[in-house]
Structures are given as C-alpha cells and as structure tokens.
Amino acid sequence: MLTFAAMRADEREQCAVLSAEALFDYVYFTAFIPNDKRRMNFLRHLMNVEFRVNEGLARFFTVKDEGEIKAVVQLCPPDYHRPQDSEYLKAGFMKCYTAAGLSSVNQWLDTDRLAGMPCRDLEHAWFISLIAVDRKYNRQGIGTRAIQECIIPYVNKQGGKELCLFTNSQVNCLFYEKNGFVRFHEQSFETKSYRLSSCSYKMELNPPVFSAVQTDEEMEDIITRAEAENAQAEAAADTGRIDDGLAFMLRFENVAWYSDGAVKILDRRIYPIRTEYVTCTEYIQVAEAIADMVTQSGGPYIAAAMGMVLAAYQFSEKEGDEFLQEMEKAAFALSHARPTTVEKMKIITESALNAVREGAGRGLCGISMVDHMMRTALEIASGIYKNSLETGKILAEKVPDNGTVMTMCFAETYIGYLLKALKDSGKTVKVICPETRPYFQGARLTASVARDMGFDVTVITDNMPGYVMKEKNVDLFTAAADVITMDGHVINKIGTFQMALAAKHWGIPFYVTGNPHEEHVNMDSVVIEERDPEAVLHAMDAKTVMEGVKGYYPAFDVTPPELVTGIVTDKGIFAANDLAGYFELQR
C-alpha cells in the first residue's frame, strides 16, 4: 500500500538519485546536455542542491511502497521566493557547472526561469515543481495517486485554491489534462538541437476526492470508480477529442493507454462485471494480452499502437540501427498476435515504424522519441475512430425511427458511432444483442455500450436470433467484419453466418461495417483462427460439461456475399460483389 510523508534529511541523497534517474531521458535536459554521463552527474548534483537550498521553503514529499521510496514531489507554496543564486552556489551548485559545462548549464537555467515564470506569476497558486517516479517501479498510476491522494488533500488543508505546474512533454500534457489540469499558457524555446515547447497548467481545487482507506483493495476500488467517473465527465465535456460522447469503454484511456513506462488495457474478458486493467511493462506482454483476448474487436489495433510506444520506451537507451531493429521486432510480434487479422494489424505497426524512421531522421531519441511515438499512437487511434464515425453516420440513415437493430458480437466504435448518430438525430431505437459465447462479447460489451449511451437494450442467447428477428420485428441486422475479401466474403465472429441466413429468410437487411482489403483477393489468403477448445466447455468461469467431453472453437465463420445487403464504409455503402469502387474513391 502506498504511503505519503514529508522527506527526511537522511532520505535526501536517495531522493536526489531517484529524481536524477527519473529525469535522465527528459528532453528538458537532453536538449542542453546530450552527453549521458555528464547529464547524469549534473542531475544528481542539481537535485541534491535543490533539496538542500529549498529546505524550509518548499515542501518535499516521498511516496513509499512497503517503506521503499518510489516517488518524490516538490511543492512550492504561493509565498515561495526562489533563493538567490549565491545560496545555490553556497549549497554546491558549482559542481553542476563542472559536470555539464558553463554554457550548457546557463542556457538551461535561462530556459528554466522563463518556462516556470507563468506558474510563478500566479499570485495565489501552489506550484508543483517536481514529480519524479522511480523508473523501475512498475505499478501503474503512481503519479496520479501522488497528486490525488497527497498533493491535493495537503493543499486543501492549507486553504489553497489553485494548483499549477509546467511541462514540455506531450505525454505529460496528456497525463495532467487527464488529471483535471487546464492549460493556460504555452511558449517555445530554441536550442542547438531542439525546439522545446513549455505548457503551463493550473487546477481550481475542490474538497479532496479521496478519503482515508485501510486496505489495498479498498483503495483500488476507489481509484477505479473515480477513473470511471472522470472518464464519463470528460466524455460529456466539449474537449474536441474524437472519442467524445462515446461509452466509457470506448474512450482511448479505457481501450489501451500508454503512460509512465506501461500500457494499461481494460480487461474486456470480465468487463462490466469488474472494471480491471491489465498492465504491460514490455511490448511482448501487449502482444500476449491481444492473443489472450484481454481486448477484442477493434481494441487490439489501439493496443498495438500503444504497444509500439511502450517498445520505444523499453529500448529508449538504444540508438540508430539497433533501436530500429528492436522496433521492427516489436512490430512483428504485435501484428502477428492473432493470425486472422495480421494484414490489418500490419497497417498499424507499419505506420508506427514509419514514425520511428521519421523521428530518427530528425534526431529524436530517448524520451523525445517516446513522446513522438505517443503522438503517433493517438493519431492512429483517431484515424481509426474517424473511419468509424463516418461509417456510423451512414449506417444510421438505414435505421428507421422507433426501429429495432440486432447486432452480432462487438462492433467496437462502429456500434458506438452508430448509436451516437442515432442519438444525435433524435431517433428512438431498440437494440438486441445475442450473447456471443464463449466470451460473451455481445452481452458484456455491446450491451454495456448501448446501455451506457442511454439505449433500450436486450440480451438474448446465441440460439435465439432466428426466432427473435421475426418475433420482435427487427428492422436491421448489423455486424462489423474482421476481414472483407475483395470478392465479398465476410469473415466475422462465429455465428454471423447463421444469423445472416435467418435475416435473408425474413427479408431483413444485413449491413456489414468495415472496409474491404485488397491483400485478400479471396478466401485463399485468409486463415480462420481456431482457439483453445476448452473455452467452449465453460460459461465465464464455470465448467458446463462432464469430464472427458471435447470442445471445438473456430473463432470466425464466413458469410458469402449473396447474404449481405451492403458493406458500409467511410466512403458509402457498396454491394458485396462490387467492392472495387471503394478503392477507386480512395485513390
């Protein structure tokens, strides 16, 4: 369990080393002191001096786990006045000049004063001037917990009304914005090698959100609920993000998200029964999570993009060809995590590799490359969502007001944006979701998204669709495809074919969402994945058969083009047997 306390004098050296190592690859220092050894010596001296000269002026907090320091925070009160240069020199700052050189240190000092000025000019604000987290500490969210459970309650107790900080890292910007900070100033600085941006943030304080708890389980429960509530509040706000207005589990942070040397993936195998995340600290763990169905449908594509960010962090100490080779290995592992979707996943990982090459050409490395890859991952995720947004709008036009839609499995953002478009147009629609065994994606995921977005939703078992289509007057059947061949075959979750047959029998249109794939001319190039047969012998965690009974689990089936009413894409609706027109419009 994490504990928070004021830093003791006998902890100063350990905290200085931890902070130096945490800041080692930060572009704010690499831009001025590119030599690794000189930069580390500079940072160790700098942090020692900073802690000594500000004793009694600033507040220093440690974050401990089982008594071991895992993070350090420096907090300056509103009446804080930076000590004179002579005080720094007296405390040993001359060692910083010796370590890194007069010119480099002075240039950094000038930039640091200017970058911090907007925050220091806020008369009544408390200023977080340092958050340093042990790089080897794998627990996700320690920075968030330090702010929410230590800093905010402390400042509130002191009567503080405003909290501020600045950063030049895009990843940090996303972290602070997620935690309730608002950007109020931005500026840039030129160095010999870089153009640095500095973003200043502030937060208007309310009474503390977190109360004291006794156990890790209680704390995790509080954090999970708070994150869910925050995500819902963000979704309701006009932030301009493309995932605004979608259900909780479709927000980027709740699909897959890189932060602080780890990728956090919402475990869709158990959601919404429990809201838990699988944390990956190596890219191969992300690939394993994809293979193990931690995330499904469109989730693996965002997980792969975030996995490439994690790989950049994992190999941040390597450079040149050695770094590129490691990233290529990561791209292969992530794209080949599941056999049926290899070609689609390669589009994601190749985009990430292109970003690596482009960034390397500009001299990016270390944490600056990680920041670059995070921006790339967000661009990839936004591109995927943009496609789904347009597709959802087009499909919504086919759904009548007061109509009923039947879905198959979990169509991810296609279903999210379909429902959003229906909601925006004022249509009242009912949704029916077959459960989709053995992972119950229809019951747990699609139904959760529909309910989360305010729709009347009903779950049925997988042997009911043919009867229910007629009995409940279904107006439209839709599914998203994992693969669409150029000759119109639809490869999707097992069970789609028999539902398409039933829809054809009752005269109900079947619209497939997704884009065709030129690399799959026909079924000859498609591998139908067969998963562990043990999965079909269980319902969630309960075994349903006698010992010795065998299972069989093909993950996908194939629906021929004659059963498909239309393929709905971001460019419009195409006949399943005439998909060349999609690529003509693209070109």
Instruction: Supply the pLDDT for residue 174.
Output: 78
Identify whether 465 is preceded by a cis peptide bond (ω within 30 of 0). no
Q: Which helix (H) or strand (E) holds 491?
A: strand 490-493
Q: Residue 96 above 60 pLDDT? A: yes
pLDDT score, position 587: 61
Q: Which pLDDT value is given to residue 137?
A: 67
Give Cα separations from 535 to 127, 180, 220, 337 (angstroms).
53, 41, 29, 18
- Strand residue runs (E) in 151-274: 162-167, 182-190, 195-204, 256-259, 262-266
CB-based burial label for 433 (10 Å; 0-12, 13-18, 19+) = buried
What are 280's strand-pairing partners? Answer: 263
What is the Cα–Cα distance from 474 to 155, expressed in whole angstroms? 56
Helix or strand run (H / E) with residue 387: helix 366-396
Q: Which of 191-200, 222-231, 244-253, 455-464 has the lowest mean pLDDT?
A: 222-231
Separation of alpha carbons 304 and 380, rounded Å = 10
Q: In terms of pLDDT, which residue wins out, 531 or 135?
A: 531
Asked if residue 527 lies in contact with residue 340, where contact means CB atoms within 8 angstroms, the answer is yes
Residues 188-209 as b or e (16 or more Cβ within 10 Å = b): ebebeebebbbbbbbbebeeee
Q: How many CA atoms lie within 13 A of 535 on its CB side?
A: 16
Q: Which of 371, 475, 482, 570 is catalytic?
A: 482
Beta bridge partners of residue 133, listed in sequence order: 71
pLDDT tens for each residue of 548-575: 999 999 999 999 999 999 999 999 999 9
| pLDDT tens figures, 408-425 | 999 999 999 999 999 999
Residue reference for tokens 């989709």: 436
Structure tokens of 91?
């405390």
% the chain with pLDDT above 90: 61
Phi–psi pair at 392, nearest 5 degrees: -60, -40
Tokens coding 109: 């000092």
Instruction: Residue 76: count other Cβ atoms within 10 Å of its Cβ.
Output: 22
Q: pLDDT at position 245, please?
A: 87
**In Å, how far are 284, 403, 450, 491, 561 from 419, measured between CA atoms?**
34, 12, 7, 23, 26
Measured distance CA(484)–CA(584) in Å, rounded? 17
Position 488 pLDDT exceeds 90: yes
What's the pLDDT score for residue 188?
87
User: Lowest-confidence range among 91-95, 119-123, 267-271, 302-306?
Assistant: 91-95
Average pLDDT over residues 86-102: 84
* Predicted local distance difference test score (pLDDT) of residue 224: 47
Distance CA 156, CA 161 (A): 7
Tell which residue, 47, 35, 37, has the closest CA to residue 92: 47
Confirm whether 541 is a catalytic residue.
no
Say how far apart CA 352 and CA 356 lie, in whole Å: 6
Task: Give 191's pLDDT tier (boundaries 50, 70, 90).
Answer: low
0.85 cut: is pTM over it?
Answer: no
